Chain A
Amino acid sequence: MAGWLLRRIGQIIPTLLILSFGIFALQQLMPGDPALILAGEDRGDPVVLAQIRAELMLDRPMWEQYLHWLSRVLVGDFGFSWRIREPVGALILDKLPVTAQLATMSFIIGVVIGVPAGVMSAVWKDKPADWGINAIALFGISMPNFWLGIMMILLFSVQLGWLPPSGYVPLWEDPVQSLATTIMPAFVLGTGVASVLMRHTRAAMLGALTQDYVRTARAKGVAERTVIARHALRNALVPVVTLGTIEFGRLLAGAVLTEQIFSIPGFGKLVVDAVFNRDYPVVQGVVLATALIFVALSLLADILYMLINPRLRNA
């Protein structure tokens, strides 16, 4: 087990290397000259454009840019944002807690609603309750986030005046205010996660409920509640864990549209603005951080698989 864990952690470095090179290559393929977009309306001066290209090393071949970037990263320097000249490392550390808070809140909302709803709808299969839960869940996933978000702002902020319409207050500055600013976006994101988890939990539960061991347990006279909780749910968890970790990763990678609507200064907005502004050091930094998150989460998923299915440990 320890050796397996070490191997997994060892895999992180080549993953990040390949990914960072891939992103570098993609950036070369992307149209749009960073110096031009940096200059915007002031692109009038060829001398200055050349100076910018020289300073940002845009006039060097790609491998040279990459090696330079890599050598800086190895000593912990992720460069600075071309647009606002803030260090990328600081920007990431700044946004990560924001996104982490929002993602955790959304995920909790998603799990708390999604998993029980999935179990209930599987247990009451083909009954009105099942249909109702399914319709609500699918409605949740078809509803565009901007629509739900703006409707909530109009209702809770403009009409009722209960919650601040947008913005973000850090948790350590003012916990109550912080929750107030994040509850609406967390709900908007949480409904999407809940829908996905509900559908998967339902399907997995339906499969598990017909398995032999469940029928054996029932035959042995084990209480239905125990059958569902101890036997069926446990075995139904594999796809739910996979999807749960992917959804959580997606939330951590930033929910662009929702952050945009609620003006939450998180990861998603950071990377989207950086892509549109061709602010490549920021894109690089954020993608690396996101990749780390996904690798860590897939490790977590594998550990969870083993806890669910002990036989996998020998594999």
Chain B
Amino acid sequence: MSVAAQSPARRALSTFFRHRLAVFGLVVVAVFVLAAILAPWISPADPLQTSWTAIRRPPSAQYWFGTDENGRDVLSRVLWGARASLMAGIIAVGGAVLIGVPIGLVAGLAGGWIDAIISRIADAMLAVPFLILAIALAAFLGPALENAMLAIAISASPVFVRLARGMAQDAASSDWAEAARAMGNPPWRIALRHVLPNIAPPLLVQATLSIAEAIIAEASLSFLGLGQQPPSPSWGSMLNSAQRFIESAPWLAIFPGLAIFLLVLALNLVGDGLRDALDPRSQKR
């Protein structure tokens, strides 16, 4: 079958899979998702089971990742923690993208007073300390992981507004957008068909980066009573409690930190692959 005969979707898919690193990234993400789902069956121990006789044991054959300050198995906690952290990271950032990008597109394409209002609101939101929002939400909505994700999504959205707006403005002034307008295409069609694909790469990059921030943010929220509640683990809160033992028990910080790094690395590789797949020109190189 010739290349010309392929549908754009199939072509994108095949570009993606030709991208070995992207596939590798996808596999890693899939492993994390599986770990989160299968945590009850694959963890070697109960992540909540304390053991006062095995406190802060370094990694060994029995405890691959060592034990924490309450004698719990760190490996099991990393596996179970994937649930809270994947949710906090991916869903919260997904929410931020869904809120931020359309608003930013409207601002960038409409211009004028609509742009002014949206942009100033985004400026104002960037100035509100995350803590105030979090404490107020914690009091009102109650302590739950979903509320933490909401707080993260709200406070992460202005970045996407600003990014989408700047790119949309730039894209709207380009020759092909002018041409599309001249041909009588309605603005929403230009936005969806021409602008969005062009601004997708930076949004993908930002989304994959924001996930790392969101995972860490979930931890500070759980300390304020908003995120994952103890003793249930999340990578961020594991890191938080590891801070006290940074000299005496470094493995408490290393393993959850490594998990975040691997997830973020994998998501970025997937993002790069998607970028290449979505950009029709990049195949010609």
Contact = CB atoms under 8 A, between A and B. Distances in A.
Contacts of B28: none
A83 B279 CA distance: 56
A238 B167 contact: yes
B143 interface: no
Contacts of B279: 206-207, 210
Given A11-B116, A271-B129, A291-B124, A315 B135 contact: no
Interface of B: 21, 111, 116, 119-120, 122-124, 126-129, 131-133, 135-136, 139-140, 159, 162-163, 166-167, 169-170, 173, 198, 201-202, 204-206, 208-209, 212-213, 216, 239, 243, 246-247, 253, 257, 260-261, 264-265, 268, 272, 275, 279, 281-282, 284-285
Given A14-B120, A142-B264, A272-B131, A30 B166 contact: no
B128 A23 contact: yes
Main secondary structure of the interface of B (DSSP, over half): helix
Interface stretch (A65-73, A95-103, A294-302): A294-302
Contacts of A239: 163, 166-167, 202, 205
Contacts of A22: 124, 128
Contacts, number: 169
B205 A200 contact: yes
Nearest to B219: A144
A158 B206 CA distance: 37
A18 interface: yes
6 contacts: A15-B123, A26-B133, A147-B246, A203-B202, A206-B282, A309-B173
Interface in A179-232: 195-196, 199-200, 202-204, 206-207, 210-211
A253 B206 CA distance: 20
B159 A246 contact: yes
Contacts of B140: 29
Contact of B261 (A11, A18, A139): A139
Interface centre among B131, B133, B208, B239 (most CB of A within 10 A): B131
